[in-house]
A and B are shown apart, each in its own frame.
Chain A
């Protein structure tokens, strides 16, 4: 879905960088803009907006909750069904806040895609510049630079993963009213092991599919062991490769899950610390710390989406390449 603007994006993508657009005579417009002051106000405005949001959130955290309630750090990750659906056998399909967060993620991605696709301009606006540079990162920085072959074919999956995880992580840093008693609270869908395992299973299945499709089942299986080794060693290495292939599932899913949970737990601890100590002096110091941690979490949200997408690209690219 995030690929909607893709077909038309590349020609306009070179516009935001001033040195490249000056090399292209076909787009003289960006040079006329005063680059430096615009950038400065935009960035500081963004930062001020962010700090305001954080301050408001911190205030909301501190005012309504009693100590006992806020100090409960683990409560964020408890899932209570919001809409109960009777379970089918062992599968419980109730709508929890995790499901709602996934819906919100999808809705945001679809909305951004539609808006961008409808309003594509040769001289990009703010949103278009952001989306274009992210798109360029996903296409050239992740799929293009990591996969030696098949980057074009597998970019939709890699890019989709990147955008989905990125948006999902970032939504996790906005307080939404899905906490206990409808309080504003943090939650990230990617901080739920079920979600990350499903994403990792997608990568796993597509990796095997790509390998089998490129080389045929038996050649792909044989390519897991080096061809020159003696037979006993070969079987041993083959077994190790099977284990490592399965362990990728664990490492991919647990990495994203644990990063999100750890980040949110640290945020919650920082926010709750002032209440635990019952002191204004500590509160003032810790609020600074909370803001720093919050900014760091934004960075982590981005890095984790990047790493998940890059590793998926590495795995799929490896499967395509093996067997020569």
Chain B
């Protein structure tokens, strides 16, 4: 396999596999947050704030994969 082809393949795999975990995590996180809001609408504001913090932290994992993919394509 040529080096360039391997790079592109690696970048695609990194992004695709790296998105699985955060996808599941975000689904669980937001689902639970909505569940909580539905049960206790009076604390919706606080739940939403913590939900966004959680989204930021979880989503970062996928973004690391994205950065690795970029590095593979443009730098490596």
0/1 per residue, A160-203, Cβ < 8 Å to B?
00000000000000000000000000000000000000000000
Contact between A258 and B49 (Cβ–Cβ < 8 Å)?
no
Chain A residues with CB below 8 A from B52, complex form:
303, 306-307, 310
B38 interfacial by beta-carbon distance below 8 Å: no
Within 8 A of A (CB), among B45-76: 45-46, 49, 52-53, 55-57, 59-60, 63-64, 66-67, 70, 74
CA distance A68 to B74 in the complex (A): 18
Chain A residues with CB below 8 A from B49, complex form:
141-142, 145-146, 310
CA distance A145 to B46 in the complex (A): 8
Chain B residues with CB below 8 A from A258, complex form:
60, 63-64, 66-67
Number of interface residues, chain A, beta carbon within 8 A: 20
Q: Which residue of B lies closest to A300 (CB)?
A: B59
- The secondary-structure label for the interface of chain A is helix
Chain A residues with CB below 8 A from B60, complex form:
251, 254-255, 258
- The secondary-structure label for the interface of chain B is helix
For residue B29, give the distance in angstroms from its CB to the closest CB of chain A.
Answer: 13
A237 interfacial by beta-carbon distance below 8 Å: no
For residue A239, give the distance in angstroms from its CB to the closest CB of chain B.
Answer: 22
A311 interfacial by beta-carbon distance below 8 Å: yes
Chain B residues with CB below 8 A from A307, complex form:
52-53, 55-56
Chain B residues with CB below 8 A from A257, complex form:
67
The 7 closest A-B pairs by CB, nearest first: A307-B56, A258-B63, A255-B60, A258-B66, A258-B67, A262-B66, A251-B60
* Interface set of A (CB-CB < 8 Å, partner B): 74, 141-142, 145-146, 251, 254-255, 257-259, 261-262, 303-304, 306-307, 310-311, 314
- Besides A141-B49, A146-B49, 7 other A-B contacts (C-beta < 8 A): A141-B45, A142-B49, A254-B63, A259-B63, A304-B56, A306-B52, A307-B53
